[in-house]
Amino acid sequence: DTAVSQTPKYLVTQMGNDKSIKCEQNLGHDTMYWYKQDSKKFLKIMFSYNNKELIINETVPNRFSPKSPDKAHLNLHINSLELGDSAVYFCASSHGEREGYFGPGTRLTVL
């Protein structure tokens, strides 16, 4: 059973397009996150939701909009994609502030 799943695994698109990445967790956790991993493997928090409410919103362009329809889902919508958005995006979840469980990642390539 997959604990944290993301779709799609790969996403290749043109500059200027709008795309979404979906995330679901079946662990019963109340907190979900989006992290971005750049080409040098550096991981940086983007957003954090607790019980469907936005808790942390790091310095991320407004083109990125997370949505949490329920505690088990956290989606990421990106408008007007740019070359610099190319990265691997990881969804994660945790119970409160304990360790995070990560999804397999979505590799986004913007051409």
Partner 1 sequence: GDSVTQMEGPVTLSEEAFLTINCTYTATGYPSLFWYVQYPGEGLQLLLKATKADDKGSNKGFEATYRKETTSFHLEKGSVQVSDSAVYFCALRGVSGYSTLTFGKGTMLLVSP
Please report, as ranges, the residues that interact with partner 1 according to CB under 8 A. 4, 33, 40-45, 48, 50, 55-56, 90, 92, 97-105
The radius of gyration of the chain from alpha carbons, rounded to an integer in Å, stands at: 13
Q: Are 4 and 25 in contact (CB under 8 A)?
A: yes
- Closest separation in Å from C-beta 110 to partner 1: 20
- State which residue, 1 or 42, has the beta carbon closest to partner 1: 42
- State which residue, 14 or 96, has the beta carbon closest to partner 1: 96
- Closest separation in Å from C-beta 62 to partner 1: 20
Give the separation between CA 27 and CA 6, rounded to whole angstroms. Answer: 14
- Token reading at 98: 């304990």
- Closest separation in Å from C-beta 43 to partner 1: 4
- State which residue, 72 or 105, has the beta carbon closest to partner 1: 105
Give the separation between CA 15 and CA 18, rounded to whole angstroms. Answer: 9
Give the separation between CA 104 and CA 47, rounded to whole angstroms. Answer: 17
- State which residue, 41 or 82, has the beta carbon closest to partner 1: 41
